[in-house]
Amino acid sequence: MQVIRDIPELRDWRESVAFDARRVGFVPTMGNLHAGHLALIDHAQRRADAVIVSIFVNPLQFEDPDDLARYPRTEEHDLERLERAGVAAVFLPTEPELYPHGQDEIVRVDAGPLGDRLEGAARPGHFTGVATVVTKLFNLVQPDVAVFGEKDAQQVAVIRRLVADLDMTVELAIEPTHREPDGLAISSRNRFLDAEQRRQAPAVHRALKRAAESLAGGHTVAATLAGARHWLSQQGFAVDYLAYCDDERFEEQTRLVPHGRLLVAARLGGVRLIDNLAVHTPHPTSLESDR
């Protein structure tokens, strides 16, 4: 595995792979690699000949400096996991390598209105930070295929729009959310949960499943969401949002749509957990009823 820390070396690596006419798969990460990341890598390996992973904790997408400072950085452990996973290369740029002129005056890629809704409203500027770094990484790595996780469903939607609106040629592949046996979505932030919080944490996923069942059972969107929010607060969570939206624009919906999604962000003490669940309505024609 080639460990690449600067842009000239990355360009050399990319040229050598192009020379061998190998298809490049790319998994961008912020490190602290877990089973969810390994599944993304496995997916990339099935779709490409050479897989490169980037590890960069992108300051541009953190609106809270304490959250950025606390984000787990586990380079040695990550490199071991990547080596074992058989990736061809890992790109580990420093902040000055990616943002040589600092962050204040950098040209940013605006994530548009989609980036201001739901998670974007809770974390202003977050998706513009994501869109900017992903654009830079795509330009540098020039992947044939890039793999992202459905756990960050709104991020996936932003990146789909980014690729479509800026005429990028990269193919996107989306891997389903990886969960612990009790349903908790695997995330780098789970390590901040203490034993009692870890016991409570699967309630986030349970709230989504109960809400999906409630919608399937014919309850209104408003009553379903109110019930799910109430239930989650009873379990000890401070709910940032629990919403039902369409799966493309992430606009909140008050009636069922053919491709809908339930999204939640909730805090347990100082730990913020997010999760989501696709709610596909099999018979859109039945949506005419006033739900």
Task: Indicate which residues carry an active-site annotation.
Answer: 37
Out of 130, 184, 256, 257, point to the residue binding ligand PAF (CB under 6 A): 130
Q: How far is the CB of 225 from ligand PAF (least distance, A)?
A: 26
Q: Which of 51, 134, 146, 263 binds ligand PAF (CB under 6 A)?
A: 134
CB of 26 to ligand PAF, least distance (A): 10
Q: Closer CB to ligand PAF, residue 148 or residue 237?
A: 148
Residues 59-98 that bind ligand PAF (CB under 6 A): 61
Distance (Å, whole) CA 4 – CA 144: 19
Q: Which of 44, 51, 111, 133 binds ligand PAF (CB under 6 A)?
A: 133
Contact status: 140 vs ligand PAF (CB under 6 A): no
Q: Provide the minimum distance between the beta carbon of 81 and ligand PAF in the complex, in angstroms, as a whole number.
A: 15
Nearer to ligand PAF, 130 or 274 (CB): 130
Q: Which of 78, 150, 152, 275 binds ligand PAF (CB under 6 A)?
A: 152
Long-range contacts of 195-198 (CB under 8 A, 24+ apart): 197/268, 197/269, 197/271
Q: Rule CB under 6 A: which of 8-47 touch ligand PAF?
A: 28-30
The residue (of 147 and 264) whose beta carbon lies closer to ligand PAF is 147
